[in-house]
Amino acid sequence: MDVETAIRTRRTHKAFAPEPLPRELLAELLELANWAPNHNLTVPWRFRVVGPASLRRLKRAAGPEGAAKLDRCPTLVVVSSVLGGDPVEDEEDLHATAVASYIVLLAAHDRGLAGYWRTPGLLRTEQGRAAAGLPAAERAVGLLHLGYPRQERPVPARPGAGETVTYLD
């Protein structure tokens, strides 16, 4: 699949088959994230693949409603960005981590997989951070849901470039 096709056809999925992704396939996807651009090659992103024990901890911290959302997908990855204390570098690193996350989603899509990037409040709570093993020196960026799709997703309406682009003199 070429890059433009991947960008135009990737969708957010919320219905996944119950089989988790094989570790080798997940490792391929996460390795590709290392090609994200990042200022001074800080490689600020961290990926934590949620296993059974950490899923139980996250579900307890999330409560009943949040736990149901965690059960939607068999493969969950907590994404965080390392904070160094310099506000400018931390912001640059946060954006680089977002790009790395999107690379994972595009690579998953290229392989026929489904993905969903969530930013649950759970990862901003003390209990959720502890359940995900997030140290104080990292900022949660998202929770990637990855798996085999159960359905096709329609193409959503998108604004044209005329609505989002301004050319400056």
Separation CA 92–CA 109 (nearest Å): 26
Q: For 33-54, what is each residue's pLDDT tens digit? A: 999 999 888 999 999 999 999 9
SS3 assignment, position 53:
helix
The third-level CATH classification (topology) of the domain covering 3-150 is NADH Oxidase (3.40.109)
**What does pTM read for this prediction?**
0.92
pLDDT at position 57: 95
pLDDT at position 19: 94
pLDDT at position 1: 84
pLDDT at position 156: 78
Radius of gyration of the chain (CA): 17
pLDDT at position 4: 85
Residues of the chain with pLDDT below 70 are none
pLDDT at position 15: 86
Domain ranges of the chain: 3-150
pLDDT at position 81: 98
What residues form DSSP beta bridges with 127?
Answer: none
Q: What angle do CA 26, 63, 105 make, to 5 degrees?
A: 25
- For residue 166 the two structure tokens come to 């301004």
Could you tell me if 149 and 114 are in contact, meaning their C-beta atoms sit under 8 angstroms apart?
A: yes
pLDDT at position 79: 98
pLDDT at position 5: 86
